[in-house]
Every structure is written in structure tokens, then in C-alpha cells.
Amino acid sequence: MHAYFTEEGSVEAVNARMGQNVSPRLATVMASLVKHLHAFAKEVELTQAEWDYGIDFLTRTGQICSGERQEFILLSDTLGLSMLVDAINNRRPTGATENTVFGPFHVEDAPIREHGATISLDGKGESCLFEGRVTDLDGQPIEGATVDVWSDNADGFYDVQQPGIQPKWNNRGRFVTGPDGRYSFVGIKPVSYPIPDDGPVGQMLGHLGRHPYRPAHMHYLVTAPGFQKIVTHTFVGEDPYLESDTVFGVKQTLVAPFEHISGATEWRSPFDFVMVPDATEDHRLADSIEHAAS
Amino acid sequence: MHAYFTEEGSVEAVNARMGQNVSPRLATVMASLVKHLHAFAKEVELTQAEWDYGIDFLTRTGQICSGERQEFILLSDTLGLSMLVDAINNRRPTGATENTVFGPFHVEDAPIREHGATISLDGKGESCLFEGRVTDLDGQPIEGATVDVWSDNADGFYDVQQPGIQPKWNNRGRFVTGPDGRYSFVGIKPVSYPIPDDGPVGQMLGHLGRHPYRPAHMHYLVTAPGFQKIVTHTFVGEDPYLESDTVFGVKQTLVAPFEHISGATEWRSPFDFVMVPDATEDHRLADSIEHAAS
């Protein structure tokens, strides 16, 4: 007799249905997805009304998405999935700079500026000197590393969120290290801000008793030939949201000093980036993605 | 030191973030969801490219939804989740008629017809007499049970999919049992048909080497005061898709006989419905849904 669907054998019934010529990686990913999805429904004994609510929630999440709004990424972020995928794919030895989430506000080809230049162009906020070195794991300086930086302004918005209000390239810039591996620039002490919370994800956070805020941070994308790229932030140590970042982006090693200094610049935040050699690229999914996209 | 997010402690980091006044049921469901979602990502070591693909897939699934199209239900159906939730919420003793998926094509308030009446109004298809009894677990007839039936026509479409082409209420009707618990009507031998497969779910089925077909079936919604409602189908035994229903709706006990008979009606399909007393309704989620919807 054929094995029809049963509550007990639900995972096997679904996964046995896959054809013979499926990409091995796609088969692995889907079989695991079905296994864990069914385990969830069984563990909580999901009711029909809860299932209805879930279908409606996912539909609303998809329908609010637009060119400027990606609610499924917000959902992934607030459930810790984005940070988990980042962690799985960026395991590094102790001493190397840790990754964190990329975020939606990076812009390619920001102006390359001189060391020490000011990236804050709107005159707002408390000025802060960001400086440090880019080195390898042995502490040797890396020459020719590009330190691409971006942050919100003192009102909590990135320039791309306020075109026509903020100057273009406000609080953005790229800095290329010399033989000493040093970088430095003057920005502002960044401020905390909420993720967009007027959609389904914001409602979810409300029902879970969570706030939508990210602690203040400066974004960095550090690249150098022969080394793994670093996608990370540094955080302002005393931020009230440091221990409750709504996207779970904070790591202990990324909490940078912010020191009050005297002079025209009010703050100083030193931070060194430690890069690891580029590993062989992981081609696990290349096949199945190409297959799926075809 | 505060426990920041780590790969190993990812589930705990996320679930520890829930507030104090969260609905207990919502907290249980979300904690389990996060646990299984992270377990999936860890088990397959989900790559960044796969995550990107998943975000895009879910977004496209949401954006194709409309008043007439519910792609997330199709996704749930084809991953076996809909049948699993139905099974969890409709466990019945041996001998009782089993449930299966409701489907999107039921219409309320179909005409109440006399026993033996024809529901096929378009003159298409091979006519079939459907008949049997509605009883309790002891075989005692249930009087006043409503047997609400619907099927596709011989072209594989429900009337609501072809307004203006098929007569209104084609292949639909309600029959109310008398003291003998009997029902009977003349419909057609239903035909197999594909679920809508021109969207993301159809692409997924293609990549998984699966077809989009459902085996031929007659839908039933059987209700009677004091008994649990039965939402089910009966299936045509020799259908080529019987063992590969794309939504996993087939159960052995729902495969009904289809006997060739002589006369104006070509086929006969006998099937008895066995109902169980109405249990105390499950109010587990009522609270958290109301909470979430407020």
C-alpha cells in the first residue's frame, strides 16, 4: 500500500515526493525546511485560527514590500535569522574583527576622501574622530585596504532616506590605507533610531513587548585584496539600546570606546580592524541557485 | 556581562527579548517558531545567497496574492503544512470519517436540493450517482445532517472559476438527511486538475520535480447539530494522481468505490459518513489571536 499523508509521517510523505533530477543542495535545503516547519506545527499543535493568522501575516508582509521597503528582511532581522546567517557564513578566528548585519543603507561608490576629512556635511550632531589601523592577525598593517563608512545623521536618518533634505553623501566616505594601515575621519557621534515599524513587523514587535530601536552605530565595509571582507558596525558604548538592539546586531567586540576630548572635535572613537586571509569561496549553493533561477 | 547574540546562543538571545505582558500562547508559538527556524538555518548552514533567494521568493509569493489568488496557501498546501494543521486539529477515533483540506472553492448557501437531484447543470461529463448514509460511531443514522457538496466540471474548473461560462451553482448542492440518514445526488465523475502553477509555488514545484495536479475528487462538508463537522473529499480510485496529490490531501479511507452501472447514470459511488460528537471547543488561541488583532 502506498504511504499516504499521515500526521505522524507528514515529513516523510512530503519529502518522498521530490523528483530524481533535483539539485542535491536544493533537495537538502527543502527537506530540512519541511522537517523543521512540520516540527514547529507539531510542537505547538498549531490551530487552524493560528494558521489563518500566519497566512494573513505573511501576505501583508509581502504586500507592503516595495522598492524602498523590504518587510521580509525586517522580519528576518527581528527574528535573529539575518544575524544567524551572517554568523554561519563569517566564522573567524579569535582576534579577527567580527561581522554584523549589512543593513539596507549602504551606497556603492561613496567619495574617496583624504584621511582626517569630515564626512558630516549638514553641520548637525556632535563631531567625533574615528581612527585606527587595519592589520592582519599578526598585527601587521595592511596597505591599500578600503574603509567604506556610513552612518545616520543627528536626526537618525541616512542621507538616502532624506533626498533633497540632507546633502548627497552626507555621513559617507571611503578611505584607503597607506603603508601604516591607518585610517581616520571626522563624523558625528551616531544616534539610535527605530527600524520602520508601521507594518506587520512593527505590529509583531508590539505584541511581543519589544521596541523597534537600533543602538547608535557607525557602519564599516572593509576590503583588501587577499583578505575576507569585513561587514560590521562599531557601537556607542553607553547607548540605552545596546543590550536590546531590535535586530540583534551587537557583539561585545564591536562596542567601541567613545572618549570625550577637548578641541573643535568633541569625541574620539578608536577602533582597529583585523582581517583574515580570503578562504576558498564557498560554492555550495551556486549550483542550486542557478538551477532555481533558470 | 550581557549575553549578546552568538551563533550558538542565537535562539536564547532572540527569545529572551520578549516582554513580560505577552500573551502566553503567543510567547509559546513564537519561541517555538524561532527555535525551529534557527535549527533549519544551522542544519543546512544556509548561505547568504540562499537567504537572499528565500527573501525574494517570499516577497514574490506575497506580491502575487490578490482577492482571487492566495499563493501562501498554495505554498502551505504543497509543503504539506495545510494537511498537517488539519490533521492536528481533527484527530478522530478509528471508524470516524477523516478530514482533508477544505480548498478555496467552497461557496456558502448552495441550493438545498431533493435527494436524487442532479447537481451537474452544464450537461458535461460522465454522470455518477453519489449516495450513502450519515451515521454516528455506532452506525445509528443521523437525521437533519446537511451534506454540502461541490466539485469541478468535466473541464476541470469550478463554477466560480468560470462565471458566465458555467451555470451558477453548477456541481454544487446541499442535501438534508431524513430519519434514515440517507443522502443521494447525481453529479459527474470529477476530473483531476492542476493548482495555479504560474507563480512562485509553481516554479518551486518545477525545481523539485513535482507536478501541480490534484487527483479527481468530490468535496463534502457534513454538519449536524451536536457533531463535529466533517470537511473532506472522496477520491476516484483509479486516478493517475491518487498517489501524488500535490497538496497531500489523499487518505486511504477517502478513496471511494466508483462502480460502472447500466442505465442513464453511468457510475455509482457509495460512501458513508461517520460523525463523532462535538468536543469542547478549543480556545487555546482565541486569546492570542484577539490580542494580536487588536
* Residue range B141-193, pLDDT digits in tens: 999 999 999 999 999 999 999 999 999 999 999 999 999 999 999 999 999 99
- Same-domain check for residues B121 and B198: yes
Q: At what angle do helices B81-88 and A24-44 cross, to 10 degrees?
A: 20
Residue B48 to chain A, least CA–CA distance (Å): 6
The ipTM of this complex is 0.91
Is A53 close to B87, i.e. CB distance below 8 A? no
Q: CA of B88: how far to CAs of A37, A128, A154, B147, in Å? A: 14, 58, 52, 24
* Residue range A219-267, pLDDT digits in tens: 999 999 999 999 999 998 789 999 999 999 999 999 999 999 988 899 9
Is A51 close to B20, i.e. CB distance below 8 A? no
Residue B250 in domain: yes
Is B286 close to A23, i.e. CB distance below 8 A? no
Residue B146 in domain: yes
- Same-domain check for residues A91 and A216: yes
**B104 pLDDT band (50/70/90 cuts)?**
confident
Is B285 close to A47, i.e. CB distance below 8 A? yes
- Same-domain check for residues A25 and A163: no
- Same-domain check for residues B149 and B230: yes
Which of B285, B288, B290 to mutate to probe the A interface, most A CBs <10 Å? B285
Q: Is the pLDDT of residue A281 over 80?
A: no
Residue A215 in domain: yes
Q: What is the mean pLDDT of residues B50-65?
A: 98
Residue A59 in domain: no
Residue A67 in domain: no
pTM for the predicted model, two decimal places: 0.90
d(CA B179, CA A109): 81
Q: What is the mean pLDDT of residues A271-286?
A: 73
Is A87 close to B10, i.e. CB distance below 8 A? yes
Q: Is the pLDDT of residue A90 over 70?
A: yes
Number of domains in chain B: 2
Chain B residues whose CB is inside 8 A of the A291 CB are 207
d(CA B4, CA A242): 9
- Same-domain check for residues A19 and A131: no
Q: Inform me whether the C-beta atom of residue B10 falls under 8 Å from chain A C-beta atoms.
A: yes
Helices (H), chain A: 10-15, 24-44, 48-63, 71-78, 81-88, 200-207, 286-293
Is A20 close to B250, i.e. CB distance below 8 A? no
CA quadruple A72, B86, B37, B4: dihedral sign: positive
Domain that holds residue A25: 1-46
Residue A200 in domain: yes
Smallest Cβ distance to B88: which of A20, A41, A79? A41
Mean pLDDT of chain A: 93
Model pLDDT, residue A103: 87
Chain A residues whose CB is inside 8 A of the B29 CB are 44, 46, 50
**B284 pLDDT band (50/70/90 cuts)?**
very low
Residue A221 in domain: yes
Model pLDDT, residue A104: 86
Q: Inform me whether the C-beta atom of residue B18 falls under 8 Å from chain A C-beta atoms.
A: yes
Q: What is the mean pLDDT of residues B12-38?
A: 97
Q: Is the pLDDT of residue B116 over 50?
A: yes
- Same-domain check for residues A95 and A3: no
Higher pLDDT, A284 or A163: A163
- Same-domain check for residues A157 and A33: no
**B1 pLDDT band (50/70/90 cuts)?**
very low
- Same-domain check for residues A117 and A167: yes
Is B44 close to A65, i.e. CB distance below 8 A? no
Model pLDDT, residue A287: 45
Model pLDDT, residue A2: 56
We report the CATH number of the domain holding residue B247 as: 2.60.130.10
Residue A65 in domain: no
- Same-domain check for residues B6 and B103: no
- Same-domain check for residues B107 and B209: yes
- Same-domain check for residues B5 and B131: no
- Same-domain check for residues B36 and B101: no
